[in-house]
Structure 1
Amino acid sequence: MLERLEEDADAWVSTVNPDATPCLVPLSFLWSEGSLVMSTRDSRPTVRNLRAVPRARVALGHTRDVVLIDTRAGILGPGELPGREADAFAAKLGWDPREKPGWLYLRLRPERLLAWREENELADRELMRDGLWLAR
Structure 2
Amino acid sequence: MPTPRTHGERVAAARLRLQQEFQMWLSTGGSTGPHLIPVAFVGDNDAIVTATGENSRTVRNLLEAGRARVAVGTTSDVVMVDTALDGLVPVPEVASDVADRFAAVSHDPRQMPGYVYIRLLPRRIQVWNGFHEFPHRTVMLKGEWLSDPVD
**1:6 maps to 2:19:** yes
Equivalent residue for 2:57, pick from 45, 58, 61: 45
Residue 20 of structure 1: CA displacement? 5.8
Match in the other structure for 2:44 = 32
Match in the other structure for 2:3 = none
Question: Superposition pairs for residues 1-136 of structure 1, below 5 Å?
Answer: 1-17=14-30, 19=31, 21-73=33-85, 74-91=87-104, 93-135=105-147
TM-score (norm 2): 0.83
Give per-residue Cα distances to partners, 1:87-107, cap 9 Å, x unaligned: 22223x153111110001000
State the Cα RMSD in Å: 1.5
Size of the aligned set, in residue pairs, is 134
Residue 68 of structure 1: CA displacement? 0.6
Q: Which runs of 5+ in 1 are unaligned?
A: none
Residue 76 of structure 1: CA displacement? 1.0
CA separation in 1, counterparts of 2:106 and 2:23? Answer: 13
The one-letter code sitting in structure 2 at the alignment partner of 1:79 is: P
Q: Which runs of 5+ in 2 are unaligned?
A: 1-13
* Identical columns (%): 39
Conservation of the 8 A alpha-carbon contact between 2:71 and 2:80: yes
Distance 1:94 1:11, change over 3 A: closer
TM-score (norm 1): 0.92
Give per-residue Cα distances to partners, 1:69-119, cap 9 Å, x unaligned: 00011211112211221122223x153111110001000110000010112
Runs ≥4 residues deviating over 4 A: none
Describe the SS at the equivalent of 2:135. helix
The one-letter code sitting in structure 2 at the alignment partner of 1:9 is: F
Residue 135 of structure 1: CA displacement? 4.5
